[in-house]
Structure 1
Amino acid sequence: MADGETSHPFEIGTDAYDQLRLDALNYFYLARSGIEIDAAIVGDEFARAAGHVSEAGGSATNQGDVAVPCQPADDPAQPYETPWTCDYTLDVTGGWYDAGDHGKYVVNGGIATAQLLQTYERTKSASSADRGALADGTLDVPEVDNGVPDVLDEARWELEFMQSMMVPDGEPLAGMVHHKIHDYGWTGLPLAPADDPKVRYLHRPSTAATLNLAASAAQGARLFAPYDADYAAELLVDARTAWDAALATPDLYAPAADGNDGGGPYNDDDVSDEFYWAAAELYITTGEDGFSDYLDAHADEATEAIGPAGFSWDSTGALAVMDLANVPNDYPGRADVRQALLDGADEIAAVQQAQSFGMAYAGADDGTFVWGSNSQVLNNMVVLGAAYDASGDRSHLDALLESADYLFGRNALNLSYVTGYGDVYSENQHSRWFAAQVNAELPHPPPGSVAGGPNSDRGTWDPVISSLYPDGCKPQFCYVDDIGSWSTNEITVNWNSALSWVASFLADQSVVQAAAPQAPVCEVEHIRHGTWPGGFNTQIWLRNVSDHTLAWDDLTWSWTADQTVTRQAWSADWSQQAADVTASSLSWNDEIRSGKRVTVGFVGNPGAFADAAPEQFWLDGAPCDTVESAQKGAGKGAGKDKAKSSGKG
């Protein structure tokens, strides 16, 4: 109780976010298009028939995505001075429904896919990560037990859709990516995807959509490489094709007027951030000088990418900065990028500290809470978490933890914006099939769905919120948990992807870690002694930096892509599962005296992708410090192989 007010009851526990990590990611299977949502996986409540699987024009009840044509040139809704169309159709079955309607948008799918991939990639390189939390068998997806982490399976569902949106070879704008596909005309509530009667069109390609594919496909290529080499190679080919197409057509923008016929416009006439993001992912995946040169020439993008207003689908530079800073890579300007991340996080933390409700967001420059303000809060929390991973700065962790309280109920409305979390929470988000408010036989949105949140920009309001506040409202009060309030209460894949990243990060921070992070007892130096085409020779020095004898069993790390330890290895029992390597102690080196070290080594194969040295090691599950090492007589290319000091732990 405070000032005469009594809060809602709440629980205190050490695992408050463990289930949310899974629920937030399980949302995406329920958002899938082109597949039956199986009751055996999700229960009868959320099961539904596959949506948009009929031939276009071939069903009286459902216009499918199997052979979708382009907008007709004589369509009166065409927003272009020169009408645009094409004479081909595309099979764009699959992907995720973006939000509460049946549209599928590449720019929303791109950032959402990237954040799911980031959520997984963080488990490979962050010192505080629970490395097995997102393994195969952890999510409610049909691909479970296929040997691939479930979150990658989920991301692939959208990646394949984005690939299918590419303009075919031989056509004008070949290699570019169609911006979106959606119904011709808005549908009402409720309406299951399988019952959608509207004709659907492909909308004109855009440079932004093309770069979204280039970036997310490049990122996906390195992550799928240890599991599906053929698909990884396919992704990288498409990423390169899209990059080249965007360079050839750098200013084809989606117009604002293309949003009045059944889908939002998602217009963006500044794609410098998307170019930087795509170049970063292509560099991290390939290590090629051309992409490094592009990053050098556009280094100002890093300093401009992060700020208190938050990043979003139309401002993606932060994705590049965070990955360049935290994913092992050899970019020469990496220290400056990391500093840009830390400086931006400091700005966000300062804003968070100044807020009465302690959230990492103060609105736009004029204090307006924008459409999807909760996603801006969440994406600022992502930046804070990435900065903590990069530096171990406790102020960034504290700002993130306190911002979570805002989302879960410490706000002006005393309301949790995440369905199923808290005693009072949003449950009537705008959706055509999670529509219990208008049809009791349908479900509410599933647990782990985040509402868009307060929106005080009256120029974007829907009739529901407008009728409640005809004279306006204070920013945090401009929200209503009503299915008709699409401007304050929608759900989208790119908002839930931010929640997924944050929930996974929070689940990794135990009470002990949050209260008093433990100093590592081990230090690792990774040394390349020589490289040659198709191979390299490595030693690892494992040093005991504690004041007592250290008994150890397993030293582990993860490669960035498809590197492997060969059978030529010594001083440990070696094993590798996909990208994860384990060196197990032998009877004669399983104890290390204080201040002393043991040495293990191996010959490795660099694989087909960039061969960055690992930067984070774990000893029996606890993180070690990693120290920078000079190379010992290494051959050509060895300058790219030294381990960088991560500052983690």
Structure 2
Amino acid sequence: MGKIFTNQVGFLPNCDKKAVLNFESPDFKLVDENQKIVFEGKTSHFGTDEISGEDTYIADFSSFTGQGKYKVVAGDAESVSFDISEKSYDKLMHDICKCFYYLRCGHGLSKEFAGEYYHEPCHLTKATVYGEDTDPVDVCGGWHDAGDYGRYSTAGAVAVAHLLYGVRFFNNLLDVKFDIPSEKCEKGELPDILAEVKVELDFLMKMQRENGSVWHKVTTFNHADFIMPEEDKAELFLFSVSSLATADIAAVFALASVVYKDYDSKYADLLMEKSLKAYEWLQSNPEPLLFKNAEGSNTGEYPEPEDFSNRYWAACSLYEATGDKKYYDDALALRDKVAAYDKEDSFKFYQGNIFTCFGWTDVAGFGSLSMLLTGEDSELKELSKNSILEEAERLCKNASENGFNLCMLKSDFIWGSNMEVLKYMMVLTVAGLLDPKDEYKKVLTSGLDYLLGCNSMDVSYVTGNGEKAYRNPHLRPTAVDGIDEPWPGLVSGGPNSGLQDEKAQTLPKDTAPMKCYLDDVGCYSLNEITIYWNSPLVFVMAGLLK
């Protein structure tokens, strides 16, 4: 029997709404919880595309705005039930924000707020500076990065950036409550999102050396077995500084100083002081200092082939935060290096314009966001606008070429493909602010539908959200805590036609990209989680719900 794929969480009443059928049916119905028909429509035949391999028929019910619980019925098939309501995404927003709390390292969790997902304090010992004869360093705190227990400066900075740019562009993010301990500040209490981000910022400050440079990561020498975090007693190491980490921290501390000054001026001043110190180190060390794992170590490397985009972001962020033109001049001088790198296909990670990339490998897109936040017009602000709008047009064209209206090409289904979707959705979100085209909103909505179940796997890629939400993330604590369900709100890496792990390689090599997925804890190349796969979804949802 054929299947009906749809967003398993639901829809806002006035947004686009659709289901995708992989079988022929000339018409479809929408039925409520009592099986009463509330809407009838005709399907449109899209055909077969290369990313899904499905012969698709589209059931569009955008014109229906009644609130309640519904299913799509066509032929002998029916979809899962979903919600149409102004509150359809309230739980989702709560969960994707709360997941950072569950990933806290050190003394972070309490039974009051973590409930059954509580675990004992972890990774409290000081870290040995690898390869140096110096005293161990206290770097306790922050968030576990992914399925492992490592903490990484560039990854953490990017996750914080997604969240804080979300706050800068969409004030509604400050109103989201997600049940974490309150954080006192100069002017009372911090909003939940800023209280949670401060946990990571405090950790990242510990990763900065006296000279302003930043250690790339703190991990054990090799990945821990599948054990609870408090059982991971191996020695912690601080691995060498990198210009990548130092630039990213200079950028994100400047960004954070602007956000936190409205709540705690002393904290904001400290962030700016540390940002300037990192930037001074970069100026004194103009040659790239990249990162490679120590021989024999297998924890996350987070390598990047250049640091131009990182330095560009730092300059743009400091310019936006301070208004000092010297940072603008630095960014202008770096622009051509970044643009030239964008043309080097042998190095490029990102499919689109590098000035619109919001990932950990290419971060020039964050520089664009900072430039958009500046008050006056400038050459770089114009570059940012044009880059984002041109990229949005490319994404809309991509979406028109498959039955799911998904802005992805076959080549986008890489390790962490769901982050590729989310980076694109961020572009469309910002493009909608610059030029509120209906097409941008349609493609953005289709991306959310895809993540929440309207895909050829018929699975929601956010735990605890959707009737068929995935349940087996590659994540140590949820694998061994003895609790059936993982905590809600975790975004899976998603389909990956590279199939880089043993379990994934049980799939046929000619599997359509959208179907290169298994909900299996062993599939680290398909089903791992990371902080920076959750954070762009927070940004996108804040924009959608503004």
Superposition TM-score, scaled by structure 2 size: 0.79
CA contact (8 A) 1:175 1:245 kept: yes
Which residue of the other structure, out of 430, 440, 443, is the alignment partner of 1:386? 430
Structure 1, residues 10-58: CA drift from partner, whole Å, max 9, x if none?
2322322222222111111111111241121232x111112112xxxxx
Q: Deviations over 1:292-338 (max 9, x none)?
A: 1122223444795982796410111111212322x243352223321
- The equivalences for 1:365-380 within 5 A come to 367=411, 369-380=413-424
Corresponding residue for residue 399 of structure 1 = 443
Give the secondary-structure state (helix, strand or coil) at the position aligned to 1:181: strand
Q: Distance in 1 between matches of 2:446 and 2:493?
A: 19
Structure 2 equivalent of residue 452 of structure 1: 493
Q: Does residue 107 of structure 1 match 2:154?
A: yes
Q: Do the aligned partners of 2:473 and 2:519 also contact (CA within 8 Å) in 1?
A: yes
Task: Specify the code of the residue in structure 1 equivalent to 2:474.
Answer: H
Q: Quick one: distance in 1 between partners of 2:468 and 2:312?
A: 41
Cα pair distance change 1:164/1:443, threshold 3 Å: farther
Letter in 1 for 2:320: I
The number of residue pairs the alignment matches comes to 459
Q: Give the aligned partner of residue 465 of structure 1.
A: 504
Tell me the distance in 1 between the aligned counterparts of 2:170 and 2:259.
12
Residue of structure 1 in register with 2:214 after alignment: 177
Contact 2:165–2:369 (Cα < 8 Å) also in 1? no
Matches within 5 A, 1:452-531: 452-458=493-499, 461-466=500-505, 468-469=506-507, 471=509, 473-508=511-546
Return the alpha-carbon distance in structure 2 between the equivalents of residues 218 and 51 of structure 1: 30
Aligned partner (choices 28, 33, 48) of residue 105 of structure 2: 33
* In the alignment, structure 1 residue 203 sits paired with structure 2 residue 262: no
Structural mapping, 1:80-479, within 5 Å: 85-124=132-171, 131=172, 133-135=173-175, 138-143=177-182, 146-168=188-210, 174-189=211-226, 191-258=227-294, 260-300=296-336, 301=338, 307=352, 311-325=358-372, 327-330=373-376, 332-333=378-379, 334-363=381-410, 367=411, 369-435=413-479, 441-442=482-483, 444-458=485-499, 461-466=500-505, 468-469=506-507, 471=509, 473-479=511-517
Backbone CA RMSD of aligned residues:
2.2
- SS of alignment partner, residue 90 of structure 1: coil
Whichever residue aligns with residue 463 of structure 1, its letter is: E
Match of 1:647 in 2: none
| Alignment-mate amino acid for residue 119 of structure 2 | R
| Structure 2 counterpart SS, 1:222 | helix
Q: Distance in 2 between matches of 1:294 and 1:94?
A: 33
Q: Could you tell me how far 1:250 is from its partner in structure 2?
A: 3.5
**Which structure has the larger Rg over C-alpha atoms?**
1
Shift of 1:144: 5.2
The CA deviation at 1:167 is: 1.8
Note if 1:48 corresponds to 2:119.
Answer: yes
CA spacing shift, 1:251–1:429, aligned 2, 3 Å: farther
* C-alpha displacement of 1:252: 4.2
Q: Which residue of 1 aligns with 2:83?
A: 11
For 1:192 and 1:26, locate their aligned partners in 2 and report how far apart those are by CA, in whole Å: 19
SS in structure 2 of the partner of residue 203 of structure 1: strand
Taking a change above 3 Å as real, the CA distance of residues 284 and 302 of structure 1, as seen in their structure-2 partners, is: farther
Q: Which amino acid aligns with 1:51?
A: C
Q: Say which of 59, 78, 93 aligns to 1:21.
A: 93
Hey, which bits of structure 1, 4+ residues long, moved more than 6 A? none
Q: String of CA shifts for 1:359-384, please: whole Å, max 9, x gaps.
A: 22214xxx261110001101110111
Which letter maps to 2:255? Q
Unaligned runs of at least 5 residues, structure 1: 54-63, 73-84, 125-130, 169-173, 509-649
Amino acid at match of 1:48: H
Preserved CA contact (<8 Å) 1:345 1:396: yes
Closer, same or farther: CA 30–302 of 1 in aligned 2, 3 Å: farther
State the alpha-carbon separation in 2 of the partners of residues 286 and 417 from structure 1. Answer: 39
CA distance in 1, matches of 2:296, 2:469: 32
Residue type matched to 2:452 in 1? F
| CA drift at 1:475 | 1.4
Alignment partners' CA distance in 2, 1:302 and 1:147: 42
Query: Using a 3 Å threshold, how does the CA distance of structure 1 residues 308 and 290 change in structure 2: closer, same or farther?
Result: closer
1:394 maps to a residue whose letter is D
Q: CA deviation at 1:443?
A: 5.4
Superposition deviation, residue 473 in structure 1? 2.8
CA distance change for structure 1 residues 299 and 251 in 2, over 3 Å: closer, same or farther? Answer: closer
Of all paired residues, the percent bearing the same amino acid is 30
Match of residue 128 from structure 2: 69
* CA deviation profile, 1:186-214 (whole Å, cap 9, x unmatched): 2222x121110211101000000001100
1:313 partner letter: W
Counterpart Cα distance in 1 of 2:92 and 2:133: 44
The verdict on how the C-alpha distance between 1:259 and 1:239 changes in structure 2, with shifts beyond 3 A counting, is farther
**Structure with greater contact order relative to length (CA < 8 Å, sep ≥ 6):** 2
* Equivalent pair of 1:308/1:380 in contact (CA under 8 Å): no
Deviation at 1:260, TM superposition (A): 4.9
Q: d(CA) in 1 for partners of 2:146 and 2:235?
A: 19
- Equivalence for 1:586: none
Q: Mapping of 1:604-623 within 5 angstroms?
A: none
